[in-house]
Amino acid sequence: MPDTQADIDREIADISTAVAKAVAGGEPEPEHPLRDYKPYRSTVLRHPHQPLILTEQADTELRGPVFGVTDVTELDRDLTRHGLGEPLGERITLTGRVLDRDGRPVRRQLVEVWQANAAGRYAHHRDQHPAPLDPNFTGTGRCLTDDEGRYSFTTIKPGAYPWRNHLNAWRPAHIHFSIFGTAFAQRLVTQMYFPNDPLFRYDPIFNSVPSEAARQRMIATYDHDLSIPELSLGYRWDIVLDGPAATWMEEGR
């Protein structure tokens, strides 16, 4: 029989209780999820079983790919203009700043996003769940940060979608972010969520981040002043690359 949501809930609660007990006993609060976080079933199968080996970076890793100002256009940041017509769903304006640990802006940084459409389906051949594709929405975009470290996108709020981690498993609505640094080998990947999502408590990926404060830093803030009349609702989300207020990253820091 497949695992149920109740099975996953118990495992998440047990791990959270163990972490809280360790912290109360004087251990530092963990910054990163367990590599074999059991409620997220596939991590048990694919996490490293041997100590990681430090290797020197190849010259190609440090120097490519390279993106210049002319490679990224204004059209790339508006995900609603990549088709022949208007995409379906709730249009949103999303902006924020990419900052270092001291709050300084990270300028001319390539920021990429990818996401599901309003029905919760990716425009990818491996996504075959029975939700409609939108011919006017690819779900991908990119931009360069400005001199204040600011990025901005116009897009469609993604829908929740099922996945096969356990019976009746659903992922909260989210947008994937990629920050490239100055070379491909420095790339960082994370996910941004929307406030007050009822699926947070059920999602083992979201809850694999052990710190409640870190989980909250992955959630955007609704900002009415960013909303554009008759067009879109506004959300703000800053990305901090290092330090005690860092945004959690899937690929480490």
Query: What is the reported pLDDT for 231?
Result: 94
| Ranges 34-38, 156-160, 184-188: which has the least confidence | 184-188
Give the model's pLDDT for residue 61.
62
Residue 178 has pLDDT above 60, yes or no: yes
**Sheet-wide strand order for 174-179:** 140-144, 110-115, 174-179, 188-193
DSSP collapsed to 3 states, the chain:
CCCCHHHHHHHHHHHHHHHHHHHHCCCCCCCCCCCCCCCCCHHHHHCCCCCCCCCCCCHHHHHCCCCCHHHCCHHHHEHHHCCCCCCCCCEEEEEEEEECCCCCECCCCEEEEEECCCCCCCCCCCCCCCCCCCCCCCCEEEEECCCCCEEEEEEECCCCEEECCCCCEEECCEEEEEECCCCHHHCEEEEEECCCCCCHHHCHHHHCCCCHHHHHCCECEECHHHCECCCEEEEECCEECCCCCCCCCCCCC
| Between 47 and 226, residue with greater pLDDT | 226
Give residue 94's pLDDT. 97
Name the band, by pLDDT with cuts 50, 70 and 90, for residue 60: low
For 156-169, what is the mean pLDDT?
A: 97
Q: What are the pLDDT digits (tens) for 73-115?
A: 999 999 999 989 999 999 999 999 999 989 999 999 999 999 9
Q: Does 102 or 197 have the greater pLDDT score?
A: 197
Q: Higher confidence at residue 6 or residue 242?
A: 6
- Output the pLDDT for position 68: 61
Provide the mean pLDDT of the chain. 91
User: Residues 160, 161, 165, CA angle at the centre, nearest 5°?
Assistant: 125
Confidence band (pLDDT; 50, 70, 90) for 253? very low
pLDDT of residue 63: 60
The band of 252, judged by pLDDT with boundaries at 50, 70 and 90, is: very low
The pLDDT of residue 181: 78
Q: Once rounded to an integer, what is the mean pLDDT over residues 213-223?
A: 95
Mean pLDDT to the nearest integer, 28-52: 87
The burial of 82, by beta-carbon neighbours within 10 Å (0-12 exposed, 13-18 middle, 19 or more buried), is given as: middle
pLDDT at 119 over 80: yes
* Mean predicted confidence (pLDDT) in 226-250: 91
**Catalytically annotated residues:** 122, 161, 171, 174, 176
Going by pLDDT thresholds of 50, 70 and 90, the confidence category of residue 246 is confident
Residue 251 predicted with pLDDT over 70:
no
